[in-house]
Amino acid sequence: MLRLVSNAAESEEKIKAWRTKMLYIIGLGLGDEQDITLKGLEAVNKCHKVYMEAYTSLLSFGLSTNGISNLEKLYGKPIILADREMVEEKAHEILAQAHHDHVAFLVVGDPFGATTHTDLVVRAKKMGIDVKIVHNASVMNAIGICGLQLYRYGETVSIPFFTETWRPDSFYEKIQRNRLMGLHTLCLLDIRVKEPTLESLCRGKKAYEPPRYMTINTAIEQLLEIVQDREESAYTEDTECVGLARLGSEDQMIVAGTMKQLQLIDFGEPLHCLVIAGKTHPVEEEMLDFYRCRT
C-alpha cells in the first residue's frame, strides 16, 4: 500500500517535471568557463538546447581563443550562438522550444548586468513559460575591486563611439551630476559587433563591419573633447580615474591615475571600462594606491 502511494507520488512528480519546462537564463560571470556557478552548470546539464548570447560573449569566451569549445567540453553538449539578430528577431523560436524542453540561454556576466535581457524574460512570461535566473558577477559589482566603494557610485553611463557626424554627449550631464555630488561614475565603453556595412544597407545584402571595442584611451579622448567643446569643467585631464581592462579575467589590468596619465597607457585587449572618481575616502585612497601608475 505504501509502495502504491509512493508510486503515485512519483508519477505525479514526473508529470509535474514534464509539465514545468523551463527557460534558464544563466550568468557565466566575467572570466572564463570556470566562472559558472555549480547551480548554473547543473541547469545547463538539464537542458536539451543551449543558446549563448554572442553579442559580448565572442569576446570573453571568444571563438579565437577556443573559448566556446572550452565551454562545450565542460558542458558535454553543443552551444548555439545567438547573435543580436537572432535574439531580437527569433526570440519566438527560442521561446517556442522552451514550451517542450528545458532551454538554457547563457549570458556573459549576470543576466541583468550591463546588457539586459529583460525583454526576453518579458516575452517568455507572456507566453506562460517559467523562467529561472542563475545570477553571477557582472561589471556592475565586480568593479568594486578597484577600491571605490559600490555605494558611492552615481548613475552609470555608456560612452558611444563618436563619428564625424554623430557626437552624442548626453552622458556628460550625468557625469557632471555625479561629480557635483562627489559620486563615482562607471563608464561602459561602446561595443560594435555585427554592425551592417553602409554598403550592405544600401544593397540589401548582409555584410558586417569588423567588430570594434572602445579603448580607455579613446574614451578619455572623447571625454576631454566634450569639456573642450563646452568650455566646461565637470572634469579635467587631471581628474582621477581608474582604467580596467578584461575585468575578472586572469590577465585583468587595473590602473589608477589622472585622465592624462591613463591616456598614455596601453591596456591591451578588450573589454575596457573606466571609472571617473568622485570624492574619495581614505580607505578608497589606500586601495587606489596599489593600482596607481608610477609615471
Binding residue for a copy of itself (CB under 8 A) from 101, 119, 209, 229?
A: 119
Alpha-carbon span 19 to 279, nearest angstrom:
54
> Is residue 272 a known part of a binding site?
yes
Nearer to a copy of itself among residue 61 and residue 263 (C-beta) = 61
> Is residue 67 a known part of a binding site?
no
Binding residue for a copy of itself (CB under 8 A) from 104, 120, 188, 241?
A: 188
Alpha-carbon span 69 to 244, nearest angstrom:
27
- Segment interacting with a copy of itself (CB under 8 A) among 6-14, 79-87, 109-117, 192-200: 109-117
Counting contacts by CB under 8 A, is residue 261 touching a copy of itself? no
Alpha-carbon span 187 to 172, nearest angstrom:
11
Binding residue for a copy of itself (CB under 8 A) from 80, 140, 224, 265?
A: 140
Nearer to a copy of itself among residue 49 and residue 135 (C-beta) = 135
Counting contacts by CB under 8 A, is residue 30 touching a copy of itself? yes
* DSSP line for 213-247: E--HHHHHHHHHHHHHHHT--SS-TTSEEEEEEST
C-alpha separations of 241 from 130, 171, 273 in Å:
43, 16, 11
User: Could you give the string, one character per residue 164-183, with x where binding to a copy of itself holds by CB under 8 A and - elsewhere?
Assistant: -------------x---x-x
Counting contacts by CB under 8 A, is residue 135 touching a copy of itself? yes
The amino acid at residue 147 is G
Starting at the edge strand found earlier in the chain, the sheet holding 253-258 runs 157-159, 185-189, 272-276, 240-245, 253-258
